[in-house]
Structure 1
Amino acid sequence: MSSLPRHCVVVGAGRMGSALAAALRAAGLDVSGPLRRGERCPQGTDCVLLCVPDAEIGKAAQDVAPGPLVGHVSGATTLAPLAPHEAFSLHPLMTVPATFEEAGAAIAGTTDRALDTARALAEALGMRTFEVADEDRAAYHAAASMAANYLVALEDAAERLLATTGASRELLVPLVRATVENWARDGARALTGPIARGDEQTVERQRAAVEERAPELLDLFDALANSTRELVA
Protein backbone atom coordinates (compact mmCIF):
# COMPACT_ATOMS: atom_id res chain seq x y z
CA MET A 1 0.00 0.00 0.00
CA SER A 2 3.04 2.32 -0.23
CA SER A 3 1.59 3.85 -3.42
CA LEU A 4 -1.49 5.14 -1.63
CA PRO A 5 -1.72 8.94 -1.71
CA ARG A 6 -1.35 10.85 1.52
CA HIS A 7 -4.44 12.88 0.68
CA CYS A 8 -7.03 12.36 -2.04
CA VAL A 9 -9.62 14.81 -3.34
CA VAL A 10 -12.75 13.37 -4.95
CA VAL A 11 -14.41 15.71 -7.45
CA GLY A 12 -18.02 15.00 -8.38
CA ALA A 13 -20.86 14.49 -5.92
CA GLY A 14 -22.93 12.07 -7.97
CA ARG A 15 -23.49 8.43 -7.07
CA MET A 16 -20.00 7.25 -7.99
CA GLY A 17 -18.17 10.17 -6.40
CA SER A 18 -20.16 9.95 -3.19
CA ALA A 19 -19.72 6.18 -2.97
CA LEU A 20 -15.98 6.26 -3.68
CA ALA A 21 -15.31 9.11 -1.25
CA ALA A 22 -17.15 7.25 1.52
CA ALA A 23 -15.46 3.93 0.73
CA LEU A 24 -11.95 5.42 0.58
CA ARG A 25 -12.56 7.25 3.84
CA ALA A 26 -13.81 4.04 5.46
CA ALA A 27 -10.64 2.31 4.23
CA GLY A 28 -8.58 4.78 6.25
CA LEU A 29 -7.53 7.29 3.59
CA ASP A 30 -7.46 11.04 4.14
CA VAL A 31 -10.15 12.17 1.70
CA SER A 32 -11.68 15.53 0.85
CA GLY A 33 -15.00 15.68 -0.94
CA PRO A 34 -16.86 14.79 -2.88
CA LEU A 35 -16.55 18.34 -4.20
CA ARG A 36 -19.39 19.78 -6.23
CA ARG A 37 -19.17 21.64 -9.52
CA GLY A 38 -17.19 24.87 -9.13
CA GLU A 39 -15.60 24.02 -5.77
CA ARG A 40 -11.83 24.44 -5.71
CA CYS A 41 -9.49 21.59 -4.84
CA PRO A 42 -7.66 22.22 -1.57
CA GLN A 43 -3.95 22.90 -1.91
CA GLY A 44 -1.40 20.31 -0.84
CA THR A 45 -3.21 17.24 -2.11
CA ASP A 46 -1.24 14.62 -4.01
CA CYS A 47 -4.16 12.93 -5.79
CA VAL A 48 -7.36 14.19 -7.45
CA LEU A 49 -9.98 11.66 -8.54
CA LEU A 50 -12.50 13.00 -11.05
CA CYS A 51 -15.93 11.36 -10.79
CA VAL A 52 -17.65 13.47 -13.42
CA PRO A 53 -19.47 12.66 -16.70
CA ASP A 54 -17.14 11.64 -19.52
CA ALA A 55 -17.76 14.84 -21.49
CA GLU A 56 -16.67 16.94 -18.49
CA ILE A 57 -13.41 15.14 -17.70
CA GLY A 58 -11.21 17.41 -19.81
CA LYS A 59 -12.62 20.62 -18.33
CA ALA A 60 -12.43 19.25 -14.78
CA ALA A 61 -8.79 18.25 -15.35
CA GLN A 62 -7.95 21.74 -16.61
CA ASP A 63 -9.31 23.17 -13.36
CA VAL A 64 -6.76 21.20 -11.31
CA ALA A 65 -3.53 23.09 -10.65
CA PRO A 66 -0.33 21.28 -11.70
CA GLY A 67 1.22 18.98 -9.13
CA PRO A 68 -1.03 16.15 -7.98
CA LEU A 69 -1.78 12.95 -9.81
CA VAL A 70 -5.12 13.26 -11.59
CA GLY A 71 -7.36 10.30 -12.28
CA HIS A 72 -10.82 9.60 -13.64
CA VAL A 73 -13.26 6.74 -13.11
CA SER A 74 -14.58 6.40 -16.67
CA GLY A 75 -14.52 3.00 -18.30
CA ALA A 76 -14.73 4.25 -21.89
CA THR A 77 -12.50 7.35 -21.79
CA THR A 78 -8.76 7.24 -22.42
CA LEU A 79 -6.20 9.16 -20.38
CA ALA A 80 -5.81 11.83 -23.08
CA PRO A 81 -8.32 14.32 -21.56
CA LEU A 82 -6.21 14.41 -18.38
CA ALA A 83 -3.12 15.78 -20.13
CA PRO A 84 -0.74 17.34 -19.23
CA HIS A 85 -1.17 15.88 -15.72
CA GLU A 86 0.51 12.68 -14.62
CA ALA A 87 -2.64 10.64 -14.93
CA PHE A 88 -4.43 7.41 -14.13
CA SER A 89 -7.85 5.85 -14.43
CA LEU A 90 -9.73 3.55 -12.09
CA HIS A 91 -13.05 2.17 -13.31
CA PRO A 92 -14.97 0.03 -10.81
CA LEU A 93 -16.65 -2.79 -12.70
CA MET A 94 -19.64 -2.54 -10.41
CA THR A 95 -23.03 -0.90 -10.34
CA VAL A 96 -23.46 1.90 -7.82
CA PRO A 97 -24.64 2.01 -5.09
CA ALA A 98 -23.07 -1.28 -4.06
CA THR A 99 -20.04 -2.52 -2.23
CA PHE A 100 -16.74 -2.36 -4.09
CA GLU A 101 -15.41 -5.44 -2.29
CA GLU A 102 -14.41 -8.20 -4.76
CA ALA A 103 -15.43 -6.09 -7.78
CA GLY A 104 -13.14 -5.78 -10.76
CA ALA A 105 -11.30 -2.51 -11.34
CA ALA A 106 -9.95 -1.52 -14.76
CA ILE A 107 -6.82 0.60 -14.31
CA ALA A 108 -4.36 2.51 -16.47
CA GLY A 109 -1.64 5.10 -15.92
CA THR A 110 0.62 7.39 -17.91
CA THR A 111 3.55 6.49 -15.62
CA ASP A 112 4.44 3.58 -13.37
CA ARG A 113 3.74 5.78 -10.35
CA ALA A 114 0.30 6.71 -11.63
CA LEU A 115 -0.54 3.09 -12.42
CA ASP A 116 0.66 1.97 -8.99
CA THR A 117 -1.54 4.61 -7.37
CA ALA A 118 -4.60 3.42 -9.28
CA ARG A 119 -3.85 -0.14 -8.23
CA ALA A 120 -3.31 0.83 -4.59
CA LEU A 121 -6.56 2.79 -4.40
CA ALA A 122 -8.52 -0.10 -5.90
CA GLU A 123 -6.92 -2.68 -3.65
CA ALA A 124 -7.59 -0.51 -0.60
CA LEU A 125 -11.28 -1.00 -1.43
CA GLY A 126 -10.89 -4.75 -1.90
CA MET A 127 -11.18 -4.65 -5.68
CA ARG A 128 -9.39 -6.93 -8.13
CA THR A 129 -7.38 -4.89 -10.63
CA PHE A 130 -6.68 -5.51 -14.29
CA GLU A 131 -5.11 -3.23 -16.89
CA VAL A 132 -7.06 -2.05 -19.94
CA ALA A 133 -5.23 -0.49 -22.89
CA ASP A 134 -6.67 2.60 -24.57
CA GLU A 135 -7.49 0.66 -27.74
CA ASP A 136 -9.51 -1.85 -25.70
CA ARG A 137 -11.54 0.64 -23.69
CA ALA A 138 -14.57 0.90 -25.98
CA ALA A 139 -14.95 -2.88 -26.22
CA TYR A 140 -14.40 -3.30 -22.48
CA HIS A 141 -17.01 -0.69 -21.62
CA ALA A 142 -19.47 -2.07 -24.19
CA ALA A 143 -19.18 -5.48 -22.51
CA ALA A 144 -19.84 -3.88 -19.12
CA SER A 145 -22.87 -2.04 -20.50
CA MET A 146 -24.26 -5.24 -21.99
CA ALA A 147 -23.79 -7.10 -18.72
CA ALA A 148 -25.42 -4.42 -16.56
CA ASN A 149 -27.24 -1.57 -18.33
CA TYR A 150 -28.76 -3.67 -21.09
CA LEU A 151 -29.75 -6.34 -18.58
CA VAL A 152 -31.91 -3.75 -16.82
CA ALA A 153 -33.44 -2.74 -20.17
CA LEU A 154 -34.13 -6.40 -20.95
CA GLU A 155 -35.80 -7.03 -17.60
CA ASP A 156 -37.90 -3.91 -18.07
CA ALA A 157 -39.10 -5.32 -21.40
CA ALA A 158 -39.97 -8.64 -19.73
CA GLU A 159 -41.81 -6.76 -16.98
CA ARG A 160 -43.88 -4.82 -19.52
CA LEU A 161 -44.88 -7.99 -21.36
CA LEU A 162 -45.67 -9.82 -18.12
CA ALA A 163 -47.88 -6.92 -17.02
CA THR A 164 -50.25 -7.71 -19.91
CA THR A 165 -51.09 -10.95 -18.07
CA GLY A 166 -51.86 -9.18 -14.80
CA ALA A 167 -48.80 -10.62 -13.02
CA SER A 168 -46.31 -8.44 -11.13
CA ARG A 169 -42.60 -7.93 -11.69
CA GLU A 170 -41.75 -9.43 -8.29
CA LEU A 171 -42.49 -12.86 -9.75
CA LEU A 172 -39.61 -12.44 -12.21
CA VAL A 173 -37.02 -11.58 -9.56
CA PRO A 174 -36.23 -15.14 -8.33
CA LEU A 175 -35.96 -16.30 -11.96
CA VAL A 176 -33.55 -13.50 -12.86
CA ARG A 177 -31.40 -14.08 -9.79
CA ALA A 178 -31.21 -17.83 -10.36
CA THR A 179 -30.37 -17.33 -14.04
CA VAL A 180 -27.51 -14.95 -13.24
CA GLU A 181 -26.15 -17.32 -10.59
CA ASN A 182 -26.34 -20.24 -13.02
CA TRP A 183 -24.54 -18.22 -15.70
CA ALA A 184 -21.87 -17.18 -13.18
CA ARG A 185 -21.25 -20.84 -12.41
CA ASP A 186 -21.77 -22.50 -15.80
CA GLY A 187 -21.46 -19.83 -18.50
CA ALA A 188 -23.44 -20.54 -21.67
CA ARG A 189 -24.22 -24.05 -20.41
CA ALA A 190 -26.76 -22.41 -18.09
CA LEU A 191 -29.08 -21.78 -21.05
CA THR A 192 -32.54 -23.36 -20.75
CA GLY A 193 -35.88 -22.83 -22.46
CA PRO A 194 -37.57 -23.68 -25.76
CA ILE A 195 -34.71 -22.66 -28.07
CA ALA A 196 -32.24 -24.74 -26.06
CA ARG A 197 -34.67 -27.68 -26.45
CA GLY A 198 -35.22 -27.05 -30.17
CA ASP A 199 -38.92 -26.28 -29.61
CA GLU A 200 -39.50 -23.72 -32.36
CA GLN A 201 -43.29 -24.14 -32.23
CA THR A 202 -43.32 -22.68 -28.73
CA VAL A 203 -41.04 -19.85 -29.85
CA GLU A 204 -43.48 -19.02 -32.66
CA ARG A 205 -46.37 -18.87 -30.19
CA GLN A 206 -44.29 -16.59 -27.96
CA ARG A 207 -43.51 -14.35 -30.91
CA ALA A 208 -47.17 -14.08 -31.86
CA ALA A 209 -48.05 -13.08 -28.30
CA VAL A 210 -45.36 -10.39 -28.27
CA GLU A 211 -46.55 -9.06 -31.62
CA GLU A 212 -50.12 -8.86 -30.34
CA ARG A 213 -49.53 -7.47 -26.84
CA ALA A 214 -46.29 -5.50 -27.06
CA PRO A 215 -45.43 -4.98 -30.74
CA GLU A 216 -42.79 -2.40 -29.82
CA LEU A 217 -40.79 -5.29 -28.30
CA LEU A 218 -40.93 -7.54 -31.38
CA ASP A 219 -37.58 -6.46 -32.85
CA LEU A 220 -35.93 -7.04 -29.48
CA PHE A 221 -37.56 -10.47 -29.16
CA ASP A 222 -36.41 -11.47 -32.64
CA ALA A 223 -32.85 -10.27 -32.04
CA LEU A 224 -32.62 -12.16 -28.74
CA ALA A 225 -34.13 -15.31 -30.23
CA ASN A 226 -31.63 -15.26 -33.10
CA SER A 227 -28.73 -14.66 -30.72
CA THR A 228 -29.91 -17.57 -28.57
CA ARG A 229 -30.11 -19.84 -31.62
CA GLU A 230 -26.50 -18.95 -32.44
CA LEU A 231 -25.52 -19.81 -28.88
CA VAL A 232 -27.16 -23.23 -29.16
CA ALA A 233 -25.71 -24.01 -32.58
Structure 2
Amino acid sequence: MGELERTIAIVGAGRLGTALAAALGTARPHGRGADARGADVVLLCVPDAEIARAAAALAPGALVGHCSGATGLCALVPHEAFSLHPLMTVAPGASPGVFTGAGCAVAGSTPRALAEATALADRLGMRPTTVTDEDRAAYHAAASMASNFLVTLQAAAERVAGTAGVKRELLAPLVRATVDNWASLGAIDALTGPIVRGDSETVERHRVALGERTPDLLPLYDELARATRALVAR
Protein backbone atom coordinates (compact mmCIF):
# COMPACT_ATOMS: atom_id res chain seq x y z
CA MET A 1 0.00 0.00 0.00
CA GLY A 2 1.45 3.37 -1.01
CA GLU A 3 2.01 6.19 1.45
CA LEU A 4 -0.82 8.30 0.06
CA GLU A 5 -3.24 5.34 0.20
CA ARG A 6 -2.79 4.68 3.92
CA THR A 7 -5.41 5.93 6.34
CA ILE A 8 -3.80 7.48 9.41
CA ALA A 9 -5.76 8.09 12.59
CA ILE A 10 -4.48 10.08 15.55
CA VAL A 11 -5.84 9.44 19.03
CA GLY A 12 -5.38 12.27 21.50
CA ALA A 13 -6.33 15.88 20.79
CA GLY A 14 -3.74 17.66 22.91
CA ARG A 15 -0.96 19.91 21.62
CA LEU A 16 1.04 17.15 19.95
CA GLY A 17 -1.89 15.26 18.45
CA THR A 18 -3.39 18.44 17.03
CA ALA A 19 -0.06 19.57 15.57
CA LEU A 20 0.64 16.16 14.02
CA ALA A 21 -2.83 16.01 12.47
CA ALA A 22 -2.27 19.41 10.87
CA ALA A 23 1.22 18.52 9.66
CA LEU A 24 0.15 15.15 8.22
CA GLY A 25 -3.10 16.48 6.76
CA THR A 26 -5.20 13.86 8.54
CA ALA A 27 -8.66 14.18 10.04
CA ARG A 28 -8.99 15.85 13.43
CA PRO A 29 -7.66 13.68 16.26
CA HIS A 30 -9.96 11.20 17.97
CA GLY A 31 -10.62 11.51 21.68
CA ARG A 32 -8.98 9.13 24.12
CA GLY A 33 -10.57 5.70 24.15
CA ALA A 34 -11.44 5.68 20.43
CA ASP A 35 -11.02 2.37 18.60
CA ALA A 36 -9.93 4.10 15.33
CA ARG A 37 -11.60 1.30 13.39
CA GLY A 38 -10.78 1.29 9.68
CA ALA A 39 -7.43 3.07 9.97
CA ASP A 40 -4.29 1.46 8.56
CA VAL A 41 -2.02 3.34 10.97
CA VAL A 42 -2.96 4.66 14.42
CA LEU A 43 -0.76 7.13 16.26
CA LEU A 44 -1.40 7.51 20.00
CA CYS A 45 -0.72 11.00 21.35
CA VAL A 46 -1.76 10.39 24.95
CA PRO A 47 0.08 10.65 28.30
CA ASP A 48 2.54 7.84 28.98
CA ALA A 49 0.39 6.35 31.74
CA GLU A 50 -2.54 6.00 29.32
CA ILE A 51 -0.73 4.42 26.35
CA ALA A 52 -1.45 0.79 27.27
CA ARG A 53 -5.13 1.52 27.94
CA ALA A 54 -5.50 3.46 24.68
CA ALA A 55 -3.80 0.66 22.75
CA ALA A 56 -6.10 -1.94 24.30
CA ALA A 57 -9.15 0.01 23.07
CA LEU A 58 -8.04 -0.07 19.42
CA ALA A 59 -9.52 -2.33 16.79
CA PRO A 60 -7.05 -5.04 15.69
CA GLY A 61 -5.18 -4.99 12.41
CA ALA A 62 -3.63 -1.55 12.24
CA LEU A 63 -0.02 -0.58 12.77
CA VAL A 64 -0.05 1.21 16.13
CA GLY A 65 2.45 3.80 17.27
CA HIS A 66 2.94 6.06 20.25
CA CYS A 67 4.72 9.39 20.60
CA SER A 68 6.31 8.88 24.00
CA GLY A 69 10.01 9.48 24.43
CA ALA A 70 10.45 7.28 27.49
CA THR A 71 8.00 4.40 26.92
CA GLY A 72 8.98 1.20 25.17
CA LEU A 73 7.01 -0.75 22.60
CA CYS A 74 5.75 -3.26 25.17
CA ALA A 75 2.96 -0.82 26.05
CA LEU A 76 1.44 -1.47 22.61
CA VAL A 77 1.23 -5.28 22.82
CA PRO A 78 -0.38 -7.15 21.04
CA HIS A 79 -0.32 -4.72 18.10
CA GLU A 80 2.41 -4.51 15.49
CA ALA A 81 4.01 -1.46 17.01
CA PHE A 82 6.23 1.54 16.43
CA SER A 83 7.18 4.72 18.23
CA LEU A 84 7.68 8.21 16.86
CA HIS A 85 8.98 10.82 19.31
CA PRO A 86 9.65 14.29 17.86
CA LEU A 87 12.60 16.04 19.49
CA MET A 88 10.65 19.27 19.43
CA THR A 89 8.67 21.32 21.89
CA VAL A 90 5.13 22.01 20.65
CA ALA A 91 3.39 25.14 21.88
CA PRO A 92 -0.38 25.70 21.66
CA GLY A 93 -1.38 26.65 18.11
CA ALA A 94 1.92 25.45 16.62
CA SER A 95 2.15 25.73 12.83
CA PRO A 96 2.17 22.58 10.65
CA GLY A 97 5.85 23.22 9.94
CA VAL A 98 6.88 22.98 13.58
CA PHE A 99 8.47 19.55 13.06
CA THR A 100 10.58 20.46 10.02
CA GLY A 101 14.26 19.89 10.71
CA ALA A 102 13.72 18.34 14.16
CA GLY A 103 15.25 15.09 15.28
CA CYS A 104 12.95 12.15 15.86
CA ALA A 105 13.44 8.93 17.84
CA VAL A 106 11.90 5.92 16.10
CA ALA A 107 11.57 2.22 16.85
CA GLY A 108 9.53 -0.70 15.54
CA SER A 109 8.57 -4.18 16.67
CA THR A 110 8.95 -5.41 13.07
CA PRO A 111 10.84 -4.13 10.03
CA ARG A 112 7.51 -2.98 8.57
CA ALA A 113 6.65 -1.04 11.73
CA LEU A 114 10.08 0.61 11.84
CA ALA A 115 9.73 1.53 8.17
CA GLU A 116 6.37 3.16 8.94
CA ALA A 117 7.85 5.23 11.76
CA THR A 118 10.72 6.31 9.52
CA ALA A 119 8.36 7.19 6.67
CA LEU A 120 6.20 9.32 8.97
CA ALA A 121 9.26 11.13 10.29
CA ASP A 122 10.42 11.80 6.72
CA ARG A 123 6.96 13.02 5.74
CA LEU A 124 7.02 15.48 8.64
CA GLY A 125 10.46 16.75 7.59
CA MET A 126 12.18 15.31 10.66
CA ARG A 127 15.50 13.47 10.94
CA PRO A 128 14.81 9.96 12.30
CA THR A 129 17.22 8.04 14.48
CA THR A 130 16.57 4.62 15.97
CA VAL A 131 16.48 4.49 19.79
CA THR A 132 16.05 1.07 21.40
CA ASP A 133 13.78 0.39 24.37
CA GLU A 134 16.77 -0.01 26.70
CA ASP A 135 18.07 3.44 25.72
CA ARG A 136 14.78 5.32 25.84
CA ALA A 137 14.91 6.48 29.46
CA ALA A 138 18.39 7.96 29.01
CA TYR A 139 17.40 9.48 25.67
CA HIS A 140 14.32 11.10 27.18
CA ALA A 141 16.27 12.34 30.20
CA ALA A 142 18.60 14.14 27.78
CA ALA A 143 15.63 15.66 25.96
CA SER A 144 14.10 16.83 29.24
CA MET A 145 17.38 18.42 30.32
CA ALA A 146 17.79 20.15 26.95
CA SER A 147 14.24 21.52 26.86
CA ASN A 148 12.23 21.36 30.09
CA PHE A 149 15.06 22.18 32.47
CA LEU A 150 16.26 24.96 30.20
CA VAL A 151 12.91 26.70 30.74
CA THR A 152 13.21 26.17 34.50
CA LEU A 153 16.68 27.72 34.44
CA GLN A 154 15.50 30.70 32.41
CA ALA A 155 12.61 31.21 34.82
CA ALA A 156 15.16 31.44 37.63
CA ALA A 157 17.29 33.89 35.64
CA GLU A 158 14.18 35.96 34.90
CA ARG A 159 13.36 36.18 38.60
CA VAL A 160 16.84 37.40 39.49
CA ALA A 161 16.92 39.86 36.59
CA GLY A 162 13.55 41.21 37.71
CA THR A 163 15.05 42.27 41.04
CA ALA A 164 17.36 44.55 39.01
CA GLY A 165 14.56 45.88 36.80
CA VAL A 166 15.67 43.85 33.75
CA LYS A 167 12.89 42.25 31.71
CA ARG A 168 12.82 38.80 30.11
CA GLU A 169 13.03 40.10 26.54
CA LEU A 170 16.48 41.52 27.25
CA LEU A 171 17.75 38.10 28.33
CA ALA A 172 16.27 36.30 25.31
CA PRO A 173 18.96 37.29 22.73
CA LEU A 174 21.65 36.11 25.15
CA VAL A 175 19.91 32.76 25.57
CA ARG A 176 19.48 32.31 21.81
CA ALA A 177 23.12 33.17 21.10
CA THR A 178 24.31 30.81 23.83
CA VAL A 179 22.27 27.91 22.45
CA ASP A 180 23.47 28.66 18.92
CA ASN A 181 27.09 28.68 20.11
CA TRP A 182 26.61 25.39 21.95
CA ALA A 183 25.05 23.82 18.84
CA SER A 184 27.86 24.93 16.54
CA LEU A 185 30.90 24.84 18.84
CA GLY A 186 30.12 22.32 21.57
CA ALA A 187 29.83 22.97 25.29
CA ILE A 188 33.44 23.74 26.20
CA ASP A 189 34.10 26.27 23.43
CA ALA A 190 30.69 27.92 23.91
CA LEU A 191 31.20 28.49 27.63
CA THR A 192 31.91 32.06 28.78
CA GLY A 193 31.65 33.96 32.07
CA PRO A 194 33.45 34.36 35.38
CA ILE A 195 34.02 30.67 36.12
CA VAL A 196 35.82 30.17 32.80
CA ARG A 197 37.96 33.22 33.60
CA GLY A 198 38.69 31.99 37.12
CA ASP A 199 37.04 35.10 38.58
CA SER A 200 36.02 33.76 41.99
CA GLU A 201 35.45 37.28 43.35
CA THR A 202 32.62 37.92 40.87
CA VAL A 203 31.11 34.51 41.61
CA GLU A 204 31.07 35.37 45.31
CA ARG A 205 29.34 38.69 44.59
CA HIS A 206 26.71 36.73 42.66
CA ARG A 207 26.19 34.51 45.69
CA VAL A 208 25.79 37.45 48.05
CA ALA A 209 23.23 39.11 45.76
CA LEU A 210 21.23 35.90 45.42
CA GLY A 211 21.34 35.32 49.17
CA GLU A 212 19.84 38.76 49.72
CA ARG A 213 17.26 38.82 46.90
CA THR A 214 16.32 35.24 45.98
CA PRO A 215 17.83 32.99 48.66
CA ASP A 216 15.86 29.96 47.49
CA LEU A 217 17.84 30.08 44.21
CA LEU A 218 21.27 30.04 45.87
CA PRO A 219 21.49 26.20 46.06
CA LEU A 220 20.66 26.02 42.34
CA TYR A 221 23.36 28.58 41.54
CA ASP A 222 25.92 26.72 43.65
CA GLU A 223 25.14 23.39 41.95
CA LEU A 224 25.35 24.95 38.49
CA ALA A 225 28.65 26.61 39.43
CA ARG A 226 30.00 23.25 40.60
CA ALA A 227 28.96 21.59 37.33
CA THR A 228 30.47 24.46 35.32
CA ARG A 229 33.80 24.15 37.13
CA ALA A 230 33.80 20.43 36.33
CA LEU A 231 33.14 21.23 32.65
CA VAL A 232 36.00 23.74 32.57
CA ALA A 233 38.32 21.17 34.16
CA ARG A 234 37.75 18.54 31.46
- Pair in the same fold by TM > 0.5: yes
The change in CA–CA distance for 1:5 and 1:146 in structure 2 (over 3 A counts) is farther
The change in CA–CA distance for 1:96 and 1:107 in structure 2 (over 3 A counts) is same
1:139 aligns with 2:134: no
Displacement, 1:167? 1.6
Cα shift readout 1:22-81 (whole Å, capped 9, x = no counterpart): 0011xxxxx23311134442x321110000000000000000011001100000000111
1:55 aligns with 2:38: no
Displacement, 1:185? 1.0
What is residue 105 of structure 2 aligned with on the other side?
Answer: 106
Structure 1 gaps, min length 5? 26-30
Cα shift readout 1:197-230 (whole Å, capped 9, x = no counterpart): 0101110110111111101101110110000001
Displacement, 1:5? 6.4
Matches within 5 A, 1:195-210: 195-210=195-210
Cα shift readout 1:87-121 (whole Å, capped 9, x = no counterpart): 00000001103511110010000000000000000
Letter paired with 2:124: L
Cα shift readout 1:152-186 (whole Å, capped 9, x = no counterpart): 00000000011111221111011111111111111
C-alpha RMSD of the superposition:
1.4
d(CA) in 2 for partners of 1:19 and 1:173? 25
Identical columns (%) = 65
Moved over 2 A (4+): 1-5, 37-40
What is residue 74 of structure 1 aligned with on the other side?
Answer: 68
d(CA) in 2 for partners of 1:4 and 1:153? 41
What is residue 166 of structure 2 aligned with on the other side?
Answer: 167
What is residue 128 of structure 1 aligned with on the other side?
Answer: 127
CA contact (8 A) 1:3 1:116 kept: no
d(CA) in 1 for partners of 2:206 and 2:185? 26
d(CA) in 2 for partners of 1:80 and 1:33? 27
1:151 aligns with 2:150: yes
CA contact (8 A) 1:3 1:113 kept: no
d(CA) in 2 for partners of 1:204 and 1:5? 64
CA contact (8 A) 1:9 1:49 kept: yes
CA contact (8 A) 2:8 2:42 kept: yes
Q: TM-score with structure 1 length normalisation?
A: 0.94
Cα shift readout 1:111-167 (whole Å, capped 9, x = no counterpart): 000000000001001110100011110100000000000000000000001111122
CA contact (8 A) 2:32 2:46 kept: no
d(CA) in 2 for partners of 1:149 and 1:5? 37
d(CA) in 2 for partners of 1:132 and 1:40? 28
Tell me how many residue pairs correspond in the alignment.
227
What is residue 226 of structure 1 aligned with on the other side?
Answer: 226
What is residue 33 of structure 1 aligned with on the other side?
Answer: 28
d(CA) in 1 for partners of 2:129 and 2:105? 5
SS at match of 1:32: coil
SS at match of 2:176: helix
d(CA) in 1 for partners of 2:125 and 2:27? 20
Letter paired with 1:61: A
d(CA) in 1 for partners of 2:156 and 2:56? 42
d(CA) in 2 for partners of 1:195 and 1:5? 58
d(CA) in 1 for partners of 2:140 and 2:231? 22
d(CA) in 2 for partners of 1:104 and 1:215? 38
Q: TM-score with structure 2 length normalisation?
A: 0.94
